């Protein structure tokens, strides 16, 4: 795990975007795993800027998203499909047919998740998976108690996640109680992970993920077992880490090697 601690979320987002841009340049047919939430928005802006400046093209890139609210149509303004269109896909040269988000209105969720995983496999697997982190340490919608080997499936959100995400809805009662989500095991198959975490309300989750024991009660902690996971955070989110200084210089070296 490399932990890149930056002064601001803007700086961290730019650095994370650089890793993605380098991959897209090196392999224009790469497969990206994408995330929603407020955290990756700034990084998506960086990728849009790179695309507009013609530094990178997404024409042959394929994407699969982590999750979708169960019961919301992709046209709903709080659905994750809508989020992706508005915050990234509509502003880059990607072929929409190459972008995949789970269908929150699927007739049979079992068929939906099976087909989703099969399609990822057929595409050769995910080269780079973008992640945020919930305040309780969840990745995608893998809430505390999710098996670390879990696959894409239907999940129930915790009251904490419903509360956290209520800010995007008119009222908490409008937040769907369930979602379709890639599993922890599915996420771990990505060849590279780029997780972003900003702000003080993520400090506890970041501490659990980086320095806590590996546990299904902080599903992000499983990333300690991934051999190419990058955590980009601001100082507020890194606040509770014990080995902050060490991570900083180690990450500096790792980034130098990455872009050498
Ligand atoms: C939801 C999403 C996660 C995301 C988390 C944090 O639970 N399923 O993928 O990481 O929210 O969201 P935010 O970035 O808005 O804090």
How large is the average pLDDT for residues 103-127? Answer: 98
How large is the average pLDDT for residues 160-182? Answer: 92
Percent of all residues in the chain with a pLDDT value above 70, rounded to a whole number: 100
Q: Please give the mean pLDDT across all residues of the chain.
A: 97
List the CATH number of the domain containing 198: 3.40.50.1360
Give me 196's structure tokens: 């972003």
Can 136 be counted among the known catalytic residues? yes
So what's the pLDDT on residue 30?
A: 98
Site to probe by mutation for ligand 1, drawn from 165, 177, 237 as the one with most ligand atoms within 8 Å of Cβ, is 165
Can 189 be counted among the known catalytic residues? no
Domain count for the chain: 1
Give me 177's structure tokens: 């109680």
Model confidence at 171, pLDDT cuts 50, 70, 90, reads confident
Q: What's the domain range around 237?
A: 2-258
Is residue 147's pLDDT more than 90? yes
Cα–Cα dist 18/58, whole Å: 14
Cβ of residue 183 lying under 6 Å from some atom of ligand 1: no
So what's the pLDDT on residue 260?
A: 84
Q: In the Cβ-directed half-sphere of 159, how many Cα atoms lie within 13 Å?
A: 0
Q: How far is the CA of 29 from the centre of ligand 1 (A)?
A: 27
Site to probe by mutation for ligand 1, drawn from 39, 102, 195, 203 as the one with most ligand atoms within 8 Å of Cβ, is 39
Q: How far is the CA of 138 from the centre of ligand 1 (A)?
A: 8
Tens digit of each residue's pLDDT (9 = 90 or more) over 23-59 = 999 999 999 999 999 999 999 999 999 999 999 999 9
Do strands 128-131 and 153-156 pair parallel, antiparallel, or not at all (unpaired)? unpaired
Tens digit of each residue's pLDDT (9 = 90 or more) over 177-214 = 999 999 999 999 999 999 999 999 999 999 999 999 99
Q: Provide the 8-state DSSP code for 176.
A: -
Model confidence at 216, pLDDT cuts 50, 70, 90, reads very high
Q: How far is the CA of 141 from the centre of ligand 1 (A)?
A: 8
How large is the average pLDDT for residues 65-71? Answer: 98
Report the candidate in 152, 25, 49, 175 with the shortest Cα–Cα distance to residue 101.
Answer: 152
How large is the average pLDDT for residues 147-155? Answer: 98
């Amino acid at each position: 795990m490399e932990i890149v601690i930056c002064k601001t979320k803007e700086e961290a987002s730019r650095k994370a975007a650089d890793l993605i841009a380098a991959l897209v340049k090196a392999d224009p047919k790469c497969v990206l795993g994408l995330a929603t939430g407020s955290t990756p928005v700034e990084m998506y802006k960086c990728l849009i800027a790179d695309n507009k400046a013609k530094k990178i093209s997404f024409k042959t890139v394929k994407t699969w998203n982590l999750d979708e609210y169960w019961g919301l149509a992709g046209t709903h303004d709080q659905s994750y499909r809508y989020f992706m269109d508005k915050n990234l896909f509509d502003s880059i040269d990607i072929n929409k047919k190459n972008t995949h988000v789970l269908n929150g209105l699927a007739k049979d969720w079992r068929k939906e998740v099976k087909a989703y995983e099969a399609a990822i496999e057929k595409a050769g697997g995910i080269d780079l998976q973008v992640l945020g982190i919930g305040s309780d340490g969840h990745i995608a919608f893998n809430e505390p108690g999710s098996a670390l080997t879990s696959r894409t499936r239907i999940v129930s959100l915790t009251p904490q996640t419903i509360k956290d995400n209520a800010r995007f809805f008119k009222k908490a009662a409008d937040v769907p109680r369930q979602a379709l989500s890639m599993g922890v095991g599915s996420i771990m198959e990505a060849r590279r992970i780029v997780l972003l975490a900003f702000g003080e309300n993520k400090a506890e989750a970041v501490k659990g993920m980086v320095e806590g024991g590996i546990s299904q009660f902080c599903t992000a902690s499983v990333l300690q077992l991934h051999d190419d996971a990058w955590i980009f955070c601001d100082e507020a989110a890194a606040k509770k880490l014990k080995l902050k200084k060490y991570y900083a210089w180690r990450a500096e070296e790792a980034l130098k090697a990455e872009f050498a």
